[in-house]
Structure 1
Amino acid sequence: MEANRLQYISYLRVLATFCVVVIHASTGYLNIFSANGFDWNYANVLHSFTRFSVPLFVMISGALLLPRQEPFSVFYKKRMTRIVWPFLFWSLIYLVYYFYRYTNFEVLPLTRVGEIAADKLLHGTSVHLWYLYMILGLYLALPFVQRMVFTLSESELRWFLVLWFVALFVMNKRLVSYMPSLDLSFFFGYIGYLVLGYWLAYRAPAVKVSVCVLAILVLGGLTCWGTWLLSVQVQKYDSLLYGYLFPNNALLAASFFLLFKQLVKKPELPEWLSFLDSYSFGIYLCHIIILNYIHPLVNLPTLWKIPAVSLVTVLLSALLILLIRKVPGGKYISG
């Protein structure tokens, strides 16, 4: 693997991490719909240009892991444990945080507490931890996908990606009235992002920087405009075009991937970026708690508040993970 490949992947990972925090720092403004209000439209713009972040995380996994050829037992032992221990640790932390922040134990029966705890552990103890359930499922499938991409020819791999992209339309529940009743379940889902990341990293032809920038501006602009139109029609926030499995965000993620692949040529990483890159998974896991406390404390106009809160949250989250890793065994559970 060429040195600059690793470097542009690091830039992409830090970008995706920051964008996830921006999404969570601005979502509250979307829930109060105002077609002509600055806050809602500003949040719409931010989401339209950052919703590529989760697909990008999965594409990075595909680019880094699909080229490896490891026995199933070796892969599961090395990769799954890196996810499972942080998953268990942060699930417990967020469960305790939920009950501490939102529960009055004087009026809530103990049996109900147990039911809530069980439900949250099954489906995610915080809104962002759904990602861990998804990535665990992908990692179970990943050794099979590794063998698939090594077996398929170049044209066959492109056909897989074409059918996956078609499935993003056909299998979308909101589009069912406009699509044929084809069952494309085999091609549908986040697994396509694994293959897309691998293909873009190693097999895709080079694309000019200007083309990537134009694609990003057009795709983000159309998402923003389309979300505004859909929301105006129903007079409330409509998130259809924000879906991580919606085609516009697949194209947007691919555009950012190719852009940074072309832009990043230096073999060295800036120290600040190398630091954030090494803590990016932990930042993702812990940032919600920090964001919940930082957001109300920042008294700035919305234009500046969202980026300021996002930046402070990222830095404080990185500091928290740094401290956790200094505790014996902390590196295994922090993320």
Structure 2
Amino acid sequence: MTAKGRNGAIDVLRVLAGLMVIGIHTSGEYVLEGVNDGANFLAGLCWEAVVQPAVPLFVIISGAFVLGRHEAWGIFYRKRMPRLLGILLFWLPFYWLWMWIKGDDIGSYLAGFWQGRSFVHLWYVVMLLGLYAFVPLLNEVIRRCEVDGENTARKRL
């Protein structure tokens, strides 16, 4: 930890994961667009394989900040959920407007809202909402394991 309470290793991982996300988006042109012959396709596949751990890395980084904390469930949700829901409520109409301008069937996207089809690039926020739904429960399990571990250690002494 530095003097300001930041963890330099996590900051480095965050920068690395961010660069890897850029790599995911740049390799897609070569891998997903059907250019399946030649050196560009193979280079795109190799690059894609190198940068794919970006999203799990971001999930791990998020977990490092929320797991093992001893917060009440209500406090946990009041601190995090409004920000994530705010992001969705702000950006989803822009995505839907963009789809409508492009001529996509906005009705099918709205109908598929609960299936996650209408989140486009916001899928990570939706995934975090799902993960955060279980974090207080996991923190309670961690807390009870710590207490049980301490009691077991005391009994052995």
Per the normalisation by structure 1, the TM-score is 0.39
Aligned residue for 2:128? 135
Report whether the alignment pairs 1:20 with 2:21.
yes
Are the equivalent residues in 1 in contact too, given 2:113–2:119 (CA < 8 A)?
no
User: How has the CA–CA distance of structure 1 residues 46 and 53 changed in structure 2, closer, same or farther, with 3 Å as cutoff?
Assistant: same
1:124 CA drift (Å): 4.1
SS at structure 2 position matched to 1:49: helix
| Larger relative contact order, structure 1 or 2 (CA cutoff 8 Å, min sep 6) | 1
Summarize deviations over 1:128-151 as a string: whole Å, max 9, x none.
322222110100111111122233
1:89 CA drift (Å): 1.2
- Map residues 275-294 of structure 1 onto 2, 5 A cutoff: none
1:126 CA drift (Å): 4.7
Amino acid at match of 2:110: A
Summarize deviations over 1:92-137 as a string: whole Å, max 9, x none.
211111212x207xxxxxxx64x22413533243533222221101
Paired with 1:146 and 1:56, the residues of 2 have a C-alpha distance of: 20
Paired with 1:65 and 1:126, the residues of 2 have a C-alpha distance of: 24
Are the equivalent residues in 2 in contact too, given 1:29–1:39 (CA < 8 A)?
yes
Paired with 1:63 and 1:86, the residues of 2 have a C-alpha distance of: 22
Amino acid at match of 1:128: H
Are the equivalent residues in 2 in contact too, given 1:13–1:57 (CA < 8 A)?
yes
Are the equivalent residues in 2 in contact too, given 1:16–1:57 (CA < 8 A)?
yes
Amino acid at match of 1:132: V
Paired with 1:70 and 1:126, the residues of 2 have a C-alpha distance of: 30
Paired with 1:91 and 1:143, the residues of 2 have a C-alpha distance of: 27
Report whether the alignment pairs 1:8 with 2:9.
yes
SS at structure 1 position matched to 2:70: coil
- Map residues 86-97 of structure 1 onto 2, 5 A cutoff: 86-97=87-98
Are the equivalent residues in 2 in contact too, given 1:22–1:46 (CA < 8 A)?
yes
User: How has the CA–CA distance of structure 1 residues 42 and 61 changed in structure 2, closer, same or farther, with 3 Å as cutoff?
Assistant: same
The RMSD of aligned alpha carbons is 2.2
Paired with 2:92 and 2:117, the residues of 1 have a C-alpha distance of: 7
User: How has the CA–CA distance of structure 1 residues 15 and 120 changed in structure 2, closer, same or farther, with 3 Å as cutoff?
Assistant: farther
Amino acid at match of 1:43: G
Which of 28, 33, 36 lines up with 2:36 in the alignment? 33
Report whether the alignment pairs 1:118 with 2:119.
no
Are the equivalent residues in 1 in contact too, given 2:84–2:129 (CA < 8 A)?
yes
Are the equivalent residues in 1 in contact too, given 2:70–2:143 (CA < 8 A)?
no
Summarize deviations over 1:74-102 as a string: whole Å, max 9, x none.
000001112110122122211111212x2
1:67 CA drift (Å): 2.6
User: How has the CA–CA distance of structure 1 residues 91 and 50 changed in structure 2, closer, same or farther, with 3 Å as cutoff?
Assistant: same
Paired with 1:136 and 1:88, the residues of 2 have a C-alpha distance of: 13
Per the normalisation by structure 2, the TM-score is 0.79
Aligned-pair identity (%) = 32
SS at structure 1 position matched to 2:80: helix
Summarize deviations over 1:5-55 as a string: whole Å, max 9, x none.
622212211221221122112212113222xx1111111111111111110
Report whether the alignment pairs 1:151 with 2:144.
yes
Paired with 2:6 and 2:13, the residues of 1 have a C-alpha distance of: 11
User: How has the CA–CA distance of structure 1 residues 127 and 41 changed in structure 2, closer, same or farther, with 3 Å as cutoff?
Assistant: farther
- Map residues 246-261 of structure 1 onto 2, 5 A cutoff: none
Aligned length: 142
Report whether the alignment pairs 1:74 with 2:75.
yes
Are the equivalent residues in 1 in contact too, given 2:95–2:120 (CA < 8 A)?
no
